[in-house]
Structure 1
Amino acid sequence: MYGTVFHMHAKPGQEQAIRQLFEEWDRERAPRVQGFQAGYLFKPDQQRDELIGVAIFRDRESYRKNAADPKQDEWFRRLRALLTDDPVWEDGEVIEAAQRA
């Protein structure tokens, strides 16, 4: 598996709009994005102005294919308009995963 962890700062009053945009992605894009496995959006206890996203794909190729998709770029531009600055991306291979059914 391959994916990214990304740190974002919402513009004041835009957190709910960001959550709705992620829900839209899950509803409309996720079923069509080959290799998408899971996504999470965290609100840290200590950094109240920050949001942390996680996106997991089957492999690096499917991750890169999604990143290069014009529809993903369109969605990202909508997200970026709700942020104070560019997200900080940390891409990498998932080397261990545990999940309880």
Structure 2
Amino acid sequence: MFGTIGHIRIKDGHDSAVKELMVDWQLTIRPRIPGSFLNLYGRSVDRPGESVFVALAADETTYRELAELPEQDAWYRRLLEHIEHEPMWEDVELEYSQE
């Protein structure tokens, strides 16, 4: 799997809007992505006010194709309205996973 870890700071009073965007993404964009996809969202324990999301596609090609979708760009621009600054991105290639 290949994807990104994003670190964001949500503007005060915008928590519910960000959660709604996450649900909207799952309903509108996720169905367009072939194969498996892992999408996680939570809050940092060590850095109050920071939220973290993980988005992993089946492979790097699929991840890059997702990034090129106009719908993904529009979704991202809506997200920017609710966070204090651009996310800090960390691209990752998953080498091992176990539940």
* Percent pairwise identity: 31
Tell me the residue number matched to 1:90.
90
Unpaired runs of at least 5, structure 2: none
Aligned to 2:9: 9
Q: Unaligned regions of 5+ residues in structure 1, if any?
A: none
Partner of 1:52: 52
4+ runs of 1 displaced by more than 4 Å? none
Matches of 1:31 and 1:68, distance apart in 2 = 15
Match of 1:78, SS?
helix
- TM-score for the superposition, normalised by structure 1: 0.92
Output aligned runs, 1:10-89, within 5 Å: 10-89=10-89
| Aligned alpha-carbon RMSD (Å) | 1.1
TM-score (norm 2): 0.94
Shift of 1:36: 4.8
Secondary structure at 2:96's aligned position in 1? coil
Tell me how far 1:68 sits from its aligned partner.
Answer: 1.0
